[in-house]
Structure 1
Amino acid sequence: MKNDRKRTKVTLLDVARQANVSRATASLVIRKSPLVGAGTRKRVEEAMHALGYVYNMGAARLRAKRSHTIGVIVPNLTNPFFAELLGGIEAAIDDAGLVMIIANSGDLVSRQSAVMQRMREHGVDGIILCPAAGTGQDLPLLIASWTLPVVQVLRHVTSDLDYAGADYAAGMHQAVDHLASLGHRSVALAVHGPLHSAYQERVESFRQAMTDQGLQMAIIRVPDELAQIADAMHLFVDRPERFTAIVCFNDLVALGMAAGIHDCGLAVGRDISLVGFDDVSDAEAMRPRLTSVSTAPVTIGRNAATLLVERIERPSLPPRRIISPTYLKERQSCQAVSPLATKTGWLRVDGGPQCF
């Protein structure tokens, strides 16, 4: 019976004979090599299906000393932005015949270290990492000692590792320039979350863009929890200056600010313009629809995955950076400044609730 089982086991050589190709060509098809033509690939795949061939990934891993898996570590899996980023990564690594293990660092350096160690223990071929806030220069040195390919995404802590991100500076200038073109002269930036490279780039670019336009500005921190952002509207209205527009650190902050504006008896767009950042899919669902700076997270994800796949194949490549362009999606949450906006305080003229 043992010999019968051996005779019924389908081998790669059986597949090659069925498809009338060499064993080497059949192997290239299984490994999704681009060197194989579409017609040959189809014949081999049809032969695999007809014979019931199952690729032994475990044996292949032992031969090649590769797991064909990568790790992806992000700081927040509940943010829809990261869902879109992961979608871009998955699409690119699927094309390369890889799968990914996803982990949430919670934006904690200690958890990030533990997760990276676990991924090393599982033998991942490389890691795409959005560094937790507070990540120090000891991490790049540690990664170098591991000889493990790592690509930074969205945030960066060193120029010695590959990086895929967006042109945050250009995006912030696009937002401010758009508001200036609508007549806004006093604009606030609503920020939240811990300090990291993306935070610093957005804040400094806002300052520079406002200075270039000669506008009055303020940078105001709001709570990290979405449910509490609406209640923080008093931070914007309990001030001597009258902001006619608010630029938000991301679309989640914009969602909370929209609720706060509504609770003050004001209307987004009509009474105060609102700009988000990242342009996740939820921006279209808001009413009025949210004007937002698109950072194209799917594209960033694809770029990060491409960098990692190339790094795995060619470890000696010099560090590379792919910075995706941003563009402003103009929707209904931004309008031209009305004559009433020059008055001090906040007041709805239709007799509705007041918020001073």
Structure 2
Amino acid sequence: MMKQKRRHVTLEHVATHAGVSRSTASLALRGSSHISEATRERVQASMRELGYIYDRVAANLRSKDSSTVGLIIMELANPFYSELLVGIHHELDKFGKTVILGTTFDSPAIQERLLSTMLENRVGGIILSAVPGSSSEPINRFRDLGIPLVLINRKLQGAECDFVGVDNVEGGRIAIEHLIRKGHRRIAFLGGLPQLSTWRGRKQGYDEAHRMAGLEIDPTLVIESRATRQGGIEAIQKLLALPSPPTAAFCYNDTIAIAVCMHLQSVGLVPGRDLAIVGFDDIPEATIFSPKLTTVSSYIRLLGEHAARLLHARIDGADAPPQSVIVQPELIVRDSCSDPAKKSE
């Protein structure tokens, strides 16, 4: 026996079933305050009973403004992006926006495909953490189409759009100055890749703090890796293999810093005592791990909130040259940085 084809349920069917007009059903669907709660509940009950599925793409095509916003980030496994997502959602919920999420895993091909998908779904705007080294051409295409796009965390050369990020130079500088005040003179910079604008900013701060203190930089102490836990393990393994290891390490992010601490413990060393550690971002795990991580806070959720507000203003018609919102970082001192002299205690 052939399976009967399921009937496509329209808003007209829902309205008839609920005993209201189509316009009333539409208002109920959009959460309008112009109808009573009892009518809204009756319409929603009919939608559930009939199996009505809202065609948001079609609605966006009919409407001048889309209620959806695209968010494209590297991955959710990195706690930085999880916190960023919370900040963005928290702010966009105020404006009744729905977020369509895509993850690139730092692949230019995936980023290009996701941007095309966002266009096909008629999003009202996009927040993008750009893949390093990617072209600005697809970004500027959105501008030409009148679709607002905000870059977050990572800058992209040649992209003519709004940007929200942290002052990475200042963040790197205050991290190294803290270690120098503690008495450290050989300080490593672990993890991250030069293709990342965030890495270049933090490295500039690292260099400036050394120069201001009259300290030479040993290039063997700058070890690149992917900004992942595995990358952190690989970086600390290379560092410990050096003939003259440093007494402290500034890590590109907290994920790397925590991986470094875990590896030190696995080889019988004590993080904070045998190697002072400073991270970057202040993810929630920084206060859970032992020792609690000294880190530079980039106020991740605030970055997300700034990006969401800026994008909403653009969607709402704000007409001004591209803006850059730069959040000032703060050093959060915890337990992972002892003085070099205390190693022998």
TM-score when scaled to structure 2?
A: 0.82
Q: For residues 107-129 of structure 1, give each alpha carbon's deviation from its aligned partner in whole angstroms, at most 9, with x where no partner exists.
A: 11111111110111011101101
Q: Distance in 1 between matches of 2:268 and 2:232?
A: 16
* Aligned: 1:149 with 2:148: yes
**Could you say what secondary structure the match of 2:37 adopts?**
helix
Q: Distance in 2 between matches of 1:7 and 1:163?
A: 47
| 1:311 Cα deviation after fit | 0.7
| 1:181 Cα deviation after fit | 1.1
* Aligned: 1:322 with 2:334: no
Which one is further off, 273-282 or 136-145? 136-145
Distance 1:235 1:13, change over 3 A: closer
Q: Determine which of 251, 266, 273 is the counterpart of 1:270.
A: 273
* Conservation of the 8 A alpha-carbon contact between 1:190 and 1:248: yes
For 2:185, the equivalent position in structure 1 comes to 185
Which one is further off, 111-120 or 192-201? 192-201
* Conservation of the 8 A alpha-carbon contact between 1:231 and 1:260: no
| 1:167 Cα deviation after fit | 1.0
Q: Distance in 2 between matches of 1:279 and 1:102?
A: 23
**Could you say what secondary structure the match of 2:331 adopts?**
strand
* Aligned: 1:256 with 2:267: no
Q: Distance in 1 between matches of 2:339 and 2:146?
A: 54
In structure 1, runs of 5+ residues without a counterpart are 16-25, 32-43, 341-348, 351-356
* Aligned: 1:291 with 2:294: yes
Give the alignment of 1:333-348 within 5 angstroms: 333-338=336-341
For 1:124, the equivalent position in structure 2 comes to 123
Letter in 2 for 1:187: I
Q: Distance in 2 between matches of 1:260 and 1:275?
A: 15
Distance 1:255 1:14, change over 3 A: closer
Give the alignment of 1:241-252 within 5 angstroms: 241-252=244-255
| 1:86 Cα deviation after fit | 0.4
* Aligned: 1:199 with 2:203: no
Q: Distance in 2 between matches of 1:279 and 1:224?
A: 15
Letter in 2 for 1:144: R
**Could you say what secondary structure the match of 2:36 adopts?**
helix
* Conservation of the 8 A alpha-carbon contact between 2:233 and 2:256: no
Distance 1:104 1:231, change over 3 A: closer
Q: For residues 187-220 of structure 1, give each alpha carbon's deviation from its aligned partner in whole angstroms, at most 9, with x where no partner exists.
A: 0000234612112111122111222122343311
Distance 1:126 1:339, change over 3 A: closer
Q: Determine which of 19, 40, 43 is the counterpart of 1:52.
A: 40
Q: CA RMSD in A?
A: 2.9
| 1:282 Cα deviation after fit | 0.6
For 2:174, the equivalent position in structure 1 comes to 174
| 1:63 Cα deviation after fit | 5.0
Q: Distance in 2 between matches of 1:65 and 1:154?
A: 30
**Could you say what secondary structure the match of 1:239 adopts?**
coil
In structure 2, runs of 5+ residues without a counterpart are 1-12, 45-53
For 1:8, the equivalent position in structure 2 comes to 19
| 1:138 Cα deviation after fit | 2.1
TM-score when scaled to structure 1?
A: 0.80
Letter in 1 for 2:105: G
For 1:21, the equivalent position in structure 2 comes to none
Which one is further off, 299-308 or 184-193? 184-193
| 1:252 Cα deviation after fit | 1.0
Distance 1:139 1:238, change over 3 A: same
For 2:82, the equivalent position in structure 1 comes to 83
**Could you say what secondary structure the match of 1:268 adopts?**
coil
| 1:225 Cα deviation after fit | 5.1
**Could you say what secondary structure the match of 1:117 adopts?**
helix
Give the alignment of 1:15-26 within 5 angstroms: none
Distance 1:195 1:62, change over 3 A: closer
| 1:339 Cα deviation after fit | 6.5
* Conservation of the 8 A alpha-carbon contact between 1:151 and 1:308: yes
**Could you say what secondary structure the match of 1:73 adopts?**
strand
For 2:10, the equivalent position in structure 1 comes to none
* Aligned: 1:99 with 2:98: yes
| 1:228 Cα deviation after fit | 5.9
* Conservation of the 8 A alpha-carbon contact between 2:164 and 2:303: yes
Letter in 2 for 1:237: L
* Conservation of the 8 A alpha-carbon contact between 2:150 and 2:307: yes
Letter in 1 for 2:89: E
Q: For residues 62-97 of structure 1, give each alpha carbon's deviation from its aligned partner in whole angstroms, at most 9, with x where no partner exists.
A: 553223000000012210110000000001110001
Q: For residues 245-290 of structure 1, give each alpha carbon's deviation from its aligned partner in whole angstroms, at most 9, with x where no partner exists.
A: 0000001111111122223322111121000111100101110111
For 1:36, the equivalent position in structure 2 comes to none
Q: Distance in 2 between matches of 1:7 and 1:240?
A: 78
